[in-house]
Amino acid sequence: MELWYYGSHGEQSGPVPGDEIRAMIAAGSIGAGTLVWRDGMDQWLPLGQVPEFAGIPGTSEAPPGTAIVPGGSPAVAYPPAAPTSGLAIASLVCGILGIVAMCAYVGGFFGLPAVICGHLSLGKIRQSAFDPIPLQGRGMAIAGLITGYIAMALQVAAILFFGFFFAAAMSSGGGSMP
């Protein structure tokens, strides 16, 4: 019977028979990255590289791009998420506020910053296209531009409407004082 030593939580444990190692693999308490050694081996090896335990689920070597987490199961290492342009977010928020603020007839005050931030954001996104991790948020910037231009157009329409309405009221004699 072969007796095995294994590394667990930074400490050496064992000796235990091979059947107990197999039971710990099945329970998930050790995995492919756990270091093991038995008499006759030159050095400690990860469990996934030991032929005696090859083929047991949980002992296969982790593919490239994975990391062994405590408990022995591989976890996929995903690339970092691409950052979203803050100007694109600001453009969209200002554009939405511009449309909503039209209820108080001040949508143009938010529409202008939405348009400015949208154009600046699109420029920065375009410049970062060849960076290792390019900026995201093109759709938000475009949505901010559209809502910003709509808010500004509605503001101009409201000013023209009330201007003509006020001019018509004044010319009909309703605005004269005795």
**Pairwise CA distance, residues 96 & 103, whole Å:** 12
Residue 159, pLDDT above cutoff 80: yes
Q: Tens digits of per-residue pLDDT, 4-44?
A: 888 876 778 889 998 898 888 888 888 777 888 888 888 88
What's the pLDDT score for residue 60? Answer: 53
Which one is predicted more confidently, 106 or 2? 2
Q: Are the C-beta atoms of residues 5 and 13 closer than 8 Å to each other?
A: yes
pLDDT bracket for residue 68 (50, 70, 90) = very low
pLDDT, average across residues 61-72: 46
Cβ contact 31:71 at 8 Å:
yes
Query: Does position 63 have pLDDT exceeding 50, yes or no?
Result: no
Distance CA 122, CA 107 (A): 22
CA atoms within 13 A on the CB side of 33: 15
From start to end of 31-153, where are the E strands?
A: 35-38, 45-46, 66-68, 74-76
- Please tell me the predicted confidence (pLDDT) of residue 2: 83
**Sequence-ordered strand ranges (E) for 10-162:** 11-17, 35-38, 45-46, 66-68, 74-76
- Domain segments of the chain as ranges: 3-76, 86-171
pLDDT(77) > 60: no
With a cut of 60, say whether residue 99 has pLDDT above it: yes
Residues 6+ apart with CB under 8 A from 45: 35, 36, 37
Q: What are phi and psi of 48, to 5 degrees?
A: -65, -15
Give the DSSP H/E element, type plus range, for residue 8.
strand 3-8
Is pLDDT of 170 > 50?
A: yes
